[in-house]
Amino acid sequence: MPHFRAIFLSLENPMLVYIHVPFCSTRCRYCAFYSSPLGRGVDPVSSPAVRDYVDTLFMELAHWGDRLGGSPVQTVFFGGGTPSLLPPRVIALVMERLGRYFTLVPKAEVTLEANPESLRGGHRVAQYLEAGVNRLSIGIQSLDEGMLRMLGRPHKAQDSLHAAFLAREAGCANINVDLMWGLPGQSVRQWLQTLKDVMRMSPDHISAYGLTLEPGTPLELDVEEGRLMLPPERDQNIMFMEGAALLEQHGYLHYEISNFARMGFQCRHNLGYWEGEDYLGLGPSATSTIGGRRWTNPASQKAWDVRTREGSLGQDVEELTPQTRVLELLMLRLRTTRGLRVKAYREMTGRDFVRDHQRLVQALHENGLIRIRNGYLRLTRSGMLVSNSILSNLFARTREVLRHGLAPGARPDAVPSAGGGSGSLGEALLAENSAAQTSPVSQPGQGEGQGPVENVMAPAGVLGHKRKPARKEPEIRAVQWPRA
């Protein structure tokens, strides 16, 4: 592979590493990630599938170590599935191989996703910390027993409280919890009470995701056939608006549509995605984007193993076009509260963003959906509620202005820096929070007028509920980013 070797050996900037661990005890009823349920009560240590996975993962690490050897790595994220089903000694071996083939930067962030019930047992969290993990992301989702059963979660509410306690007791200084809102049968009062109960656990980071009804999942079928009812759209809006306000009142900065953190505890791995940094994906179904080239591993453990043994990983590469890079810049930066640095658009296109989108920008500003300050354009909280519609219009206009190519001096292959602008991320968030809108607005149905480009990697919007599209156009498809 001389072509790839020449490309990859030129890597200089620190990259992100995502490791997909596909195993879980049982598949949740809303899950569309590639996963391999082992079954309740099955010991992962004795599972042939898990042993084969670890062997193949080591081979894949060696494969990329040969092509990217010595490249700096700033974050590692074990996502799944349920990565905490892997014994701590396996995580330690993976971290040892990563350190052998790559250069882990000082104080690299290493996140392990965990289900609450998988952290039972005295010293397991401490062993993960000894293995190199320094950030735990606990998939609580809900503290209501009925909601947990409806979602198909394998744990009880008490397991979540116990897991958070054990993590702190073991000395974990960086804990995230995942929550879901907009669940069938959930009221605004229930959601706000869930947030209050979770904040008593004192996590450092809270990810609050609107439920996405993924096609073909049991939960989607229940809703489609009327066995379950989603909350009214007005209630969903209030859940987002009042939930975000409540979290901020208790010191959690709203730094991305679905993510809140105490100062200094933003997820560095996901910030890297949103800022367009290179990332290497390992494991079945994992996606990589390096040097403007993107590829995805087979979504099958057997096919991934075959590709790894053949040494043919990363050969089915998509070259990202200038238009795709620009659209992803808009998509990813506008998810964050800091927003889009307007100068980054000029650097990539050679064009003026406000001039290209003048009418749209003016309309959004007049309706309180965006703010422009110190060179950044950001969505207000009300704007985040209708982010899918805003992005659809931005995409359509951007495609139109780029139809005849980029302006002289454009550098679409450059990775736009976050820039200075409004100072530190925390300062930018605080400035935005003081100006945020507080009145809920109606969210148009997902799929309505969406889908300017099919191959744009688009994280799910704030309201992910599936609704029937108004027009037959391709959707902006949600890429499976790991949870924070």
Confidence band for 393, pLDDT divided at 50, 70 and 90: very high
DSSP H/E element including 23: strand 23-24
Q: Per the omega criterion (within 30 degrees of 0), is the bond before 69 cis?
A: no
Residue 293 CB partners (closer than 8 Å, separation 6+)? 7, 317, 318, 319, 320
Closest CA to 216 of 31, 366, 431, 14: 31
Rounded to whole angstroms, how far apart are CA atoms 338 and 254?
10
Mean pLDDT of 362-380: 95
Residue in the structure block whose two tokens are 């892997």: 86
| 257-274 burial code (b ≥16 CB/10 A, e <16) | bbbbbbeebbbbbbbbbb
Residue in the structure block whose two tokens are 């939930």: 243
What confidence tens digit (pLDDT) does each residue in 305-355 have?
Answer: 999 999 999 888 999 999 999 999 999 999 999 999 999 999 999 999 999
In-domain check, residue 358: no
Domain containing residue 124: 2-174+265-274
In-domain check, residue 229: no
Mean pLDDT of 236-249: 97
Mean pLDDT estimate for the chain: 84
What confidence tens digit (pLDDT) does each residue in 26-54 have?
Answer: 888 888 877 888 877 778 888 999 999 99
Confidence band for 106, pLDDT divided at 50, 70 and 90: very high
Strand 253-256: give its sheet, edge to edge. 253-256, 259-261, 205-210, 175-181, 135-141, 103-114, 72-80, 15-21, 279-282, 287-290, 293-296, 318-319
Determine whether 79 is exposed, middle or buried from the number of CB atoms within 10 Å of its CB (0-12, 13-18, 19+): buried
User: Do residues 396 and 356 lie in contact, with contact meaning Cβ atoms separated by under 8 Å?
Assistant: no
Q: Residue 33 has what pLDDT?
A: 78
Q: Residue 383 has what pLDDT?
A: 95
Q: Residue 461 has what pLDDT?
A: 32
Mean pLDDT of 387-392: 94
Q: Residue 445 has what pLDDT?
A: 29
Q: Residue 43 has what pLDDT?
A: 82
Answer whether residue 470 shows pLDDT above 80.
Answer: no
β-pairing verdict for 205-210 and 103-114: unpaired
Answer whether residue 477 shows pLDDT above 50.
Answer: no
| 330-367 burial code (b ≥16 CB/10 A, e <16) | bbbbbbbbbbbbbbbbbbbbebebeebbeebbeebeee
Q: Residue 421 has what pLDDT?
A: 39
- Long-range contacts formed by 355-361: CB under 8 A, 24+ apart: 356/397, 356/398, 356/401, 357/394, 357/397, 357/398, 360/393, 360/394, 360/397
Residue 408, both tokens: 């002289």
Confidence band for 416, pLDDT divided at 50, 70 and 90: low
Q: Residue 431 has what pLDDT?
A: 39
What confidence tens digit (pLDDT) does each residue in 293-303 have?
Answer: 999 999 999 99
In-domain check, residue 379: no
Residue 118 carries which DSSP code? Answer: G
Confidence band for 244, pLDDT divided at 50, 70 and 90: very high
Neighbours of 226 (CB within 10 A): 7
Answer whether residue 265 shows pLDDT above 80.
Answer: yes
In-domain check, residue 148: yes
In-domain check, residue 347: no
Rounded to whole angstroms, how far apart are CA atoms 392 and 177?
30
Answer whether residue 459 shows pLDDT above 50.
Answer: no
Answer whether residue 468 shows pLDDT above 80.
Answer: no
Rounded to whole angstroms, how far apart are CA atoms 298 and 280?
14
In-domain check, residue 473: no
Residue 23 CB partners (closer than 8 Å, separation 6+)? 35, 36, 37, 38, 44, 47, 49, 50, 53, 80, 81, 82, 85, 86
Rounded to whole angstroms, how far apart are CA atoms 388 and 448?
9
Q: Can you spell out the DSSP letters for 205-236?
A: EEEEEE----TT-HHHHHHHTTSS-PPPHHHH
Number of domains in the chain: 1
Rounded to whole angstroms, how far apart are CA atoms 263 and 257?
16
In-domain check, residue 21: yes
β-pairing verdict for 259-261 and 205-210: antiparallel
Angle (deg, nearest 10), helices 233-249 and 188-199: 20
In-domain check, residue 250: no
